[in-house]
Amino acid sequence: MKIGITCYPTYGGSGVVATELGLELAHRGHEIHFISYAQPIRLTELHPNIHYHEVDVSRYPLFDFPPYDLALATRMAEVSELYALDILHVHYAIPHSVSALLARQMLAAKPRGQRLPFVTTLHGTDITLVGLDRSYLPITRFSIEQSNGVTAISNYLRERTLREFDVKNHIEVIYNFVNCDLYCRDAGAAERRLEYAPNGERVLVHLSNFRPVKRVTDVVEIFDRVRKKMPAKLLMIGDGPDRSRAEWLAVQKGIHDDVLFLGKQDKISEKLAVADVILMPSELESFGLAALEAMACKVVPIATRGGGVPELIEHGISGYLADVGDVDAMAGYAIGLLNDESRLQTMAKASRTMAQSKFCSSKIVPQYEEFYRRTLERSS
Ligand code: GMT
């Protein structure tokens, strides 16, 4: 198939899923066209089946807010026509599904009337935060209803979309996935760990875009409690609006030397694979891709239990779940686990098994292929 993919290229889990999906599909022989305003950050590999088309948003003194969604729609239509795309897959509803809808209409109105069915994948805050803002809700609902196919990344997100948006479409649940061959406890992990924890300290990790929903100061609070009980290091991977709050908190607590802010990183699997535990105390996660990537690397997740997270983590078996803001409980789980090597090893194995048995790309990517086929059949 010839598949167009649009996502946010620089920020967040939806862009990661979109990029990894494009790469996996390219390896399976599909022709992939990324259409976005910048090259997706995880698109580091050159592959003959992968093409990238930049959307140029022209500036004009009248435009306080340059109309990216219109430039995107134009580029989607252009690329679809030039490369005879079969289907367009947009990740994150706002504004991508609206642009796809416009592109589909532009092509249908042409003399030869090319068809451009599009699939919208709902990821999280496009529904739970942004989409529920009154100024976005009607158009988000409309573009979801107009999509030729809709997927959500967890049952939680599917139910919430149906309930709060009152849309009538079928929404297929296709979970986030991880490449289990790449994300694993590789042979070099022990040596790399020494760079961060040279004296045998425990290693905790957090990976996010440091937005308020991630509650990064809770990460520091939890680590502070752990640090009082044992030598430990915290790796903070990523960057975003709340990073400096977290840095200041670490300074105030006197643990700044043990909290390593690594910023945005590539080769995420290599960083995750050195850790014992990942902390994900988010306000809400529709799924929790960062936890899945860590679990595949035998890193045990300690997370909040809201949203779609319980579909990934079984409390007490492949990780621990606590209420939002309950930093004492999450610290208690971490301390108990890190003090008990045999339980840590058992849960690390259970985490990997969970990732392998349900969420490997080899299991999930064919579900997308099948969904494209059904969508194409329905819209022919
Ligand atoms: O919060 C983020 O990391 C970004 C956000 C997004 O939509 O880009 O992530 C959402 O999508 C991820 C991939 O599908 C999910 O794993 C995350 O749980 C989800 N984030 C939230 O629901 C807050």
Nearest CA to ligand 1 atom 12: 13
**CA of 281: how far to CAs of 284, 308, 375, in Å?**
8, 13, 37
Ligand 1 mutation pick, 283, 285, 324, max ligand atoms within 8 A of CB: 285
Ligand 1 mutation pick, 157, 214, 287, max ligand atoms within 8 A of CB: 287
Nearest CA to ligand 1 atom 19: 124
- Determine the pLDDT at residue 63: 83
Ligand 1 pocket by Cβ (under 6 Å): 12-14, 17, 92, 123-125, 153, 176, 208-209, 213, 284-289
Instruction: Determine the average pLDDT of the residues in 360-369.
Output: 98
β-partners of residue 206 are 236
Tokens linked to 110: 């042409």
Q: Which atom of ligand 1 lies at the shortest distance from residue 124's CA?
A: 22
Q: Are 55 and 81 in contact (CB under 8 A)?
A: no
Give tens-digit pLDDT for 313-324. 999 999 999 999
> Is it the case that residue 326 has pLDDT exceeding 80?
yes
> Is it the case that residue 46 has pLDDT exceeding 90?
no
Instruction: Determine the average pLDDT of the residues in 193-211.
Output: 97
**What CA–CA distance (Å, rounded) separates 336 from 250?**
22
> In sequence order, which ranges of 28-129 are alpha helices (DSSP H)?
68-82, 96-108, 125-128
**DSSP letter, residue 56:** P
**CA of 103: how far to CAs of 70, 99, 107, 187, 191, in Å?**
9, 6, 6, 47, 50
- Determine the pLDDT at residue 52: 96
CA of 294 to the centre of ligand 1 (A): 15
Give the pLDDT band (50/70/90) at residue 219: very high
DSSP secondary structure letters along 128-170: HTGGGSTTTHHHHHHHHHH-SEEEESSHHHHHHHHHHH---S-
CATH number of this structure's domain 189-358: 3.40.50.2000
> Is it the case that residue 11 has pLDDT exceeding 80?
no
Q: Which atom of ligand 1 lies at the shortest distance from residue 11's CA?
A: 8
Q: Which atom of ligand 1 lies at the shortest distance from residue 157's CA?
A: 22
- Mean model confidence pLDDT for the chain: 95
Greater confidence, 266 or 219? 219
DSSP secondary structure letters along 238-297: ---TTHHHHHHHHHHTT-GGGEEEEES-S-HHHHHTT-SEEEE--S--SS-HHHHHHHHT
Question: Which class in CATH covers the domain with range 2-177+360-379?
Answer: alpha beta
CA of 74 to the centre of ligand 1 (A): 27
Give tens-digit pLDDT for 294-304. 999 999 999 99
Give the pLDDT band (50/70/90) at residue 125: confident
- Determine the pLDDT at residue 65: 84
Give tens-digit pLDDT for 32-43. 999 999 999 888
Please, is 281 exposed, middle or buried when counting C-beta atoms within 10 Å of its C-beta (0-12, 13-18, 19+)? Answer: buried
Give the pLDDT band (50/70/90) at residue 10: confident
**What CA–CA distance (Å, rounded) separates 272 from 277?**
9
Greater confidence, 60 or 321? 321
Share of the chain above pLDDT 70, in %: 100
Instruction: Determine the average pLDDT of the residues in 127-151.
Output: 90
- Determine the pLDDT at residue 130: 77
> Is it the case that residue 12 has pLDDT exceeding 90?
no
All CATH 3.40.50.2000 domain ranges in the chain, comma separated: 2-177+360-379, 189-358
Give tens-digit pLDDT for 61-92. 888 888 999 999 999 999 999 999 999 999 99
- Determine the pLDDT at residue 44: 83
Tokens linked to 288: 């929790």
Q: Which atom of ligand 1 lies at the shortest distance from residue 283's CA?
A: 23
CA of 304 to the centre of ligand 1 (A): 14
Instruction: Determine the average pLDDT of the residues in 328-354.
Output: 98
**What CA–CA distance (Å, rounded) separates 36 from 215?**
29
Question: Helix 361-378 to helix 13-27 angle, to the nearest 10 degrees?
Answer: 80
Residue with the two structure tokens 């409980």 = 329
Count Cβ neighbours within 10 Å for each residue of 207-234 and write b for 16 or more, e otherwise.
bbbbbebbbbbbbbbbbbbbbeeeebbb
**What CA–CA distance (Å, rounded) separates 254 from 37?**
41
Nearest CA to ligand 1 atom 23: 285
Ligand 1 mutation pick, 289, 309, 312, max ligand atoms within 8 A of CB: 289
Ligand 1 mutation pick, 14, 156, 305, max ligand atoms within 8 A of CB: 14
Q: Which atom of ligand 1 lies at the shortest distance from residue 282's CA?
A: 23
Q: Which atom of ligand 1 lies at the shortest distance from residue 91's CA?
A: 7
Nearest CA to ligand 1 atom 21: 285
Share of the chain above pLDDT 90, in %: 88
Ligand 1 mutation pick, 207, 286, 311, max ligand atoms within 8 A of CB: 286
> Is it the case that residue 128 has pLDDT exceeding 90?
no
